[in-house]
Structure 1
């Protein structure tokens, strides 16, 4: 009898424990799917911030997908009213809530901020209260190196990499710029000669090839042909990763720190495809071996293998005592050997991927839109050409005299205002923060739609959607009514590390093109800016080229 009573007591305790665990799980589930989101919503509304009402079956994600699909289904008339096509859902939110409002991605609120001063405050926070958003494993494929770091590790890595883009280092890179641009001009000249006076080409892939060649030479000391495979692999990897993000993610779409399904995602972790998260996050994981996931894994491994071979050759050169510390890869490898910056060979690979993937893209898209815009505005094309010929004549541009190109600089700034490479910027609030007169609760994503701020008539005037480089005649800070309103390379401590590199390359390339060619839009060109890695021409950028 004593044993039976003891057994019943033990069984009762087990039942109670299971019941308590289920009750706790239910309470946590209620809090994450309902309690916390509604609490954040109430706090935002108390401050007068409007937004979508939270519900378990909220339609914001569906509405965004429908708006984007509709906007991207057809081109727009030639002109520069690009925000509505590139980010149609932001236009919907603006019309509904104004310049400050929130929507929902699952149980995560996204606060849209279009006030430049508030954007500056949010993006200038240096501590852990505001960070880059937590990302799905697939997006982690596209967030590499220093871009994926936080805290002290990010500070050390950024300081290390910034030294590779000091003005003295940039001066040493100018011969590589000139060589790559010269090869582009020579190739176009040959095609033009064979075409008897005029030649139609898509400049978007041409500039991708050019900027990739420059990155290979200046950052890794190799020619474009050696880096070409990395570019091709990473381009395919990017589109596959985006497809994966749009697909159903077992058991949900997002893997967000404060998303209610994150806990479930962790329970299903053996099923989640993630062998390619940044190496500092996950070393070994299982994944569903679908055709796309197998291809992603192959691409990821091939990219790393190719970069390891470049690193091996660079290490061999260092061992022989060759002077290779001037480029980024040499600088990073010396840091590994010296034990500086807490950096490993795997980290070096990630930094290489980041620079292969991001740095050439920014310049390529800027040059592409510059050609399109100057084709639309022949008067400014002629003004820029006259300035180039006055400063350089037919001689190749030199770094010192690039600063004398006032009109070319104005043109590039205006192009990046109308077509900023990064059309929007994102942050995540990890701890409650008070900025610009409002308090943003923990768990809120923040989006700053750069392209909308760059087209705001209250800042830039009634001609905000028009191409007018004269607005930059007195510099960037005096171009609009708000001196904080122009930030094509991002804002704050996480602004683009290579922006001076990108602008120097763009000036040299555009200068040499203006010296040799005139150009206009092809009748086959369809104006269709859309959001890829950057703000890109959806159907290419077809230009008719003529020799001078």
Structure 2
């Protein structure tokens, strides 16, 4: 009997040891061997880059370079410097100068093939293969913010989501949303006029928060049949989650699973946001008017669909998770990005009174005393040039990122499966070889003949991404920006406040670190 117990104990020990060995082997392969294999496959083709450590990659070096970089000096409107890429992303500029236009670096175990070669970017932008998708870290490391919604999913599941969401933002549908945009913007401007009356005809306004509330109200009305106040807490918590997530590093093995103070706060925010979104969904289900054909209703119908399209939904994706992930994606894409773009656009108009006057003259000539409509928005050519140039100098998204879901080939380079391709948008948007010697200057006239007339390789202009993954809401965003700016220009003259400090910063989006402070005067 004792002998049998000894044998059983030995067998149990062997099983436990074997299981632990397998777990360790998998962890070692994922954190050390696989990154080395990916890196080796790329380095053998002549691509170079800084040497990474096993667990942290080049994160320590990135921090050292950032700490040695001088902050951007405060500039007046007349001397505003738009060449901010070196300050915000000094590691990328340093490595590009050292290793060439295509180089390799890593954050933790994630291998980034950073590409600033315009011809290769053009080739990638024309690729429609589903083998070039979004990186897996977007749904894991950035999972609390993006989940597996349309912004982070791949393959048939992404195609299924785009089939539902994209038609809601087609140009013809957007035309019907303009009146709602006008209504919401007028309400915001009334508060500005009231402040102006109380302050004697001129007022200083930090426009960022007002634009956030405005864009939140618009996306809530258009997509979810609700005014902003209903989802105010959701937007606030998403913003907190975004700020918190921008402080962490990605790719460090196991870090996102540890119960650190940072992670516990992430998990808390994620739970609260998911719960609040499900609350909105439940209130919609109990409404008498729940047959509204807005985007939320389409998502509800898709989540309950058991037809042919349901085979594209992963088995572990519950209906509630499907709805929550896509609502977060839409809230994020339709709220934060548009509000920041509006802030940058108004800042540029305030800093350049000549273009402000030209844009105002166009708006008043086209609209007169009437509110802008979808028919007249397309005739606002000057305002269109101003917006395009602002998005060139201050794109909201810092990178276009793709993952090779299978081995793929671009411009003589074989990119192995699971390698992440990164294109730094600001670097492409300010490349003198593409835009000319004045690439760092605000010159909206460069877009007088469209993007093809402004840039030697039009595919290098990508404020809304590129290829088949171009932002589904780009028509919506452009219409919203035109409505907001045209109504402001028709009522106010604006200039930069002396308190404005020009300091772009990267917090998962390119945004003004200290906000945009504007002096407004009634026309």
Deviations 1:35-62 (A, max 9, x none): 5545544443443322223554887211
CA distance in 1, matches of 2:240, 2:13: 53
CA distance in 1, matches of 2:306, 2:397: 34
Normalised by the size of structure 1, how large is the TM-score?
0.84
CA distance in 1, matches of 2:219, 2:419: 36
Deviation at 1:397, TM superposition (A): 0.6
Normalised by the size of structure 2, how large is the TM-score?
0.88
Deviations 1:290-328 (A, max 9, x none): 6655544443333233222322232234xx466511x21
Farther off after superposition, 38-47 or 538-547 = 38-47
CA distance in 2, matches of 1:43, 1:385: 55
2:251 to 247, 251, 254: 254
CA distance in 2, matches of 1:24, 1:345: 35
Pair 1:197–1:103, CA change in 2 (3 A) = same
Deviation at 1:442, TM superposition (A): 2.7
CA distance in 2, matches of 1:46, 1:322: 59
Question: Partner residue of 2:131?
Answer: 129
Pair 1:200–1:332, CA change in 2 (3 A) = same
Task: Please state if 1:332 is matched with 2:330.
Answer: no
CA distance in 2, matches of 1:25, 1:346: 29
1:139·1:242 contact (CA, 8 Å) conserved in 2? no
Deviation at 1:509, TM superposition (A): 0.4
Task: Please state if 1:501 is matched with 2:476.
Answer: yes
Deviations 1:194-235 (A, max 9, x none): 111221111111211110111111111111111211111111
1:228 to 232, 237, 251: 232
1:112·1:449 contact (CA, 8 Å) conserved in 2? yes
2:281 to 291, 303, 311: 311
Task: Please state if 1:206 is matched with 2:210.
Answer: yes
Deviation at 1:273, TM superposition (A): 6.1
CA distance in 1, matches of 2:155, 2:14: 43
2:362·2:380 contact (CA, 8 Å) conserved in 1? yes
Question: Partner residue of 1:397?
Answer: 372
User: How is 1:355-434 mapped onto 2 (pairs within 5 angstroms)?
Assistant: 355-434=330-409
Q: CA RMSD for the aligned pairs?
A: 3.1
CA distance in 1, matches of 2:62, 2:256: 25
Pair 1:24–1:167, CA change in 2 (3 A) = closer
Deviation at 1:362, TM superposition (A): 1.6
1:530 to 474, 487, 505: 505
Question: Partner residue of 1:181?
Answer: 185
CA distance in 2, matches of 1:426, 1:539: 27
User: How is 1:20-419 mapped onto 2 (pairs within 5 angstroms)?
Assistant: 36-56=34-54, 60-71=58-69, 73-75=71-73, 77=75, 78-122=80-124, 125-127=127-129, 129-135=131-137, 137-144=140-147, 145-243=149-247, 245-246=248-249, 254=251, 261=253, 265=254, 288=259, 293-317=263-287, 320=288, 323-325=291-293, 327-339=294-306, 341-342=309-310, 344-419=319-394
CA distance in 2, matches of 1:49, 1:487: 25
CA distance in 2, matches of 1:184, 1:11: 73
Question: Partner residue of 2:316?
Answer: none
Q: How many residues align?
A: 508
2:458 to 483, 487, 492: 483
Deviation at 1:364, TM superposition (A): 0.8
Farther off after superposition, 429-438 or 468-477 = 429-438
- Look up the SS of the partner of 1:463 in the other structure: coil
1:38·1:54 contact (CA, 8 Å) conserved in 2? no
Pair 1:273–1:541, CA change in 2 (3 A) = same
- Look up the SS of the partner of 2:145 in the other structure: coil
CA distance in 2, matches of 1:227, 1:105: 35
Deviation at 1:151, TM superposition (A): 1.4
Deviation at 1:408, TM superposition (A): 0.4
CA distance in 2, matches of 1:25, 1:310: 41
CA distance in 2, matches of 1:230, 1:392: 36
Deviation at 1:494, TM superposition (A): 1.5
Deviation at 1:406, TM superposition (A): 0.6
Pair 1:53–1:305, CA change in 2 (3 A) = closer
Pair 1:18–1:80, CA change in 2 (3 A) = same
CA distance in 2, matches of 1:44, 1:538: 36
Gaps of 5+ in 1: 247-252, 256-260, 266-271, 275-286
1:86·1:535 contact (CA, 8 Å) conserved in 2? no
